[in-house]
Amino acid sequence: MKLRYLFAGMLLCGATAVASAQSIGEQELAQIKGSFVKDAHTVAVQNILLGDANIKGKTKDLSKVNEVDHFFKYRVDVKGITDQKSSGRCWMFTSMNALRPTAQKKYNVSKFDFSHNYNYFWDIFEKANLYLENIIRTAGKDITDEEVVWYIKSPVADGGVWNLFYNLGEKYGVVPQEVMPETAHSNNTGQLLSTLNRYLKKAGWDIRQLYAEKTANVKKNNKKAQEELAAAMKEAKIAALKDVYRVLALCLGEPPTEFTWKYKNNKGEVVTVKSTPKEFYESVKPENYNPETFIMIMNDPTREYYKVYDIANYRNTIEGVNWVYLNLPNEVIKEAALKSIKANEPMYASCDVGKESDSKAGVCDDNMYDYESFLGIDLKMDKKARILTRYSGSSHAMLLMACDTDENDKPVKWQFENSWGAASGVGGYLTFTDKWFDEYMFRIVINKKYLDAKSIEAAKQTPIVLPAWDYMW
């Protein structure tokens, strides 16, 4: 026993010695400085960079851009490009873009868009309610607790994934763009969110103070006192939500409970539709549009494949579904995605669009930029390492709607419909190589019928619950 303790102590001391901080001495500094050899290449690169801060632009391999064409063997019949402007609503735009072909067919129009402003209003309102409920639920925890810190840090934000749109559609429906058009604040959400987050932090603080005051001298088993506390905190929450609603209504307008929509169809006929948002949603959503039929599949090499994961509390409505995904190898995801495209069904997809991409040219290639040759350093990491070091992760959602294949019907390139307007990419579209798919694609939402039998069976598992602050999102 003594020997075991002695050995453990030696290991601890050794670890401490290795981890101890050491300054750079003259010998080490001379070694480091001596490694910077001013050969012809180094001098040329130095002369360039001393006068130009654009490293990325200098490392772009133009041959990669020129090699990629924008013609596709298989392409979903989509029409229209949207623009999310200065907002983080890509997940909402993409989810709606996936429904747009159904709406165009239903109402016989070639041009159509949903009101993103309408759903954005309810998204932020519901996120505010969820935040306040989380504050109430954790009011007894110390304010430095990891969970409490996570909620307080950012009460509401633009970001989201497909399940958030599903939650909104099921509860509030959707409306045509003309019914509730964009406003200055829906197109540029920064100041609105900043104001609301400042207010919600205050409201959350007030609720925690209320909890502390009312529980200071009350025994835990005092049922009446507990009921009075719950009622008081609920009252405080409702008062806060009234203010949130006011700010949203001032900046975005009030959402309609019913509407009249006039439009001209492809026959040149003027048609009038009277509806509620829920009724309109029911008219345009696909058959069996639910998380049991349309599931999210993910390529996350940091975790076991053929397992289902649930990110706790990642939703916008209290009663809504969390972000749940089935983790699959890339080759399985590609096979399913190609089937969906061949069936003329686009998919919600998200990726790390900022990596190895040229948005102006509308091309993504895994070797788009050669930093290594230009700077003389090694930057190579595999997808797992990039995720775990927080260098890479899903940053943007787009509609996956085209695939080109070789003579054996194996994918060589794919295409997104983006939501950055027609001036971005090639008319609003972004083409990416199959290798880029492997490295920087993360998740798609797809009809389960396009998955293989093994994946369908795996989707039936009870999800492994991940914390709200999980690195994958």
Among candidate residues 133, 122, 254, 244, the one with its CA nearest the CA of residue 195: 244
Q: What's the pLDDT at 221? A: 72
Q: Consecutive 10-residue runs of the chain (473 residues): their mean pLDDT?
A: 46 53 91 94 95 93 89 95 95 96 95 97 98 97 95 95 98 98 97 98 97 80 86 96 98 98 96 98 95 97 97 96 97 98 97 94 94 94 96 96 97 97 95 97 97 98 94 74
Quick check: do 64-78+287-371+382-466 and 112-257 share a fold?
A: yes
Annotated active-site residue in 197, 322, 418, 447? 418
| Residue 90 among the catalytic residues | yes
Among candidate residues 405, 450, 425, 365, the one with its CA nearest the CA of residue 416: 425
Annotated active-site residue in 97, 299, 396, 447? 396
Domain-by-domain residue ranges, the chain? 64-78+287-371+382-466, 112-257
Q: What's the pLDDT at 319? A: 97
Q: What's the pLDDT at 219? A: 66
- Compute CA 340 distance to the chain's CA centroid, rounded to the nearest angstrom: 21
Note the pTM of the prediction, 2 decimals.
Answer: 0.92
| Residue 185 among the catalytic residues | no
The yes or no reply on domain 64-78+287-371+382-466 and CATH 3.90.70.10 is: yes
Q: What's the pLDDT at 246? A: 98
The CATH topology of domain 112-257 is Cathepsin B; Chain A (3.90.70)
| Residue 13 among the catalytic residues | no
Q: Are 349 and 397 in contact (CB under 8 A)?
A: yes
DSSP structure class, residue 306: T
Q: What's the pLDDT at 471? A: 80
Annotated active-site residue in 90, 351, 364, 403? 90
Q: What's the pLDDT at 19? A: 59
Q: What's the pLDDT at 349? A: 98
Q: What is the CA radius of gyration of the chain?
A: 26
Q: What's the pLDDT at 220? A: 67
Q: What's the pLDDT at 1? A: 44
Q: CA-to-CA distance for 423 and 262, rounded, in angstroms?
A: 29
Partners of residue 296 on adjacent β-strands: 325, 445
Q: What's the pLDDT at 73? A: 97
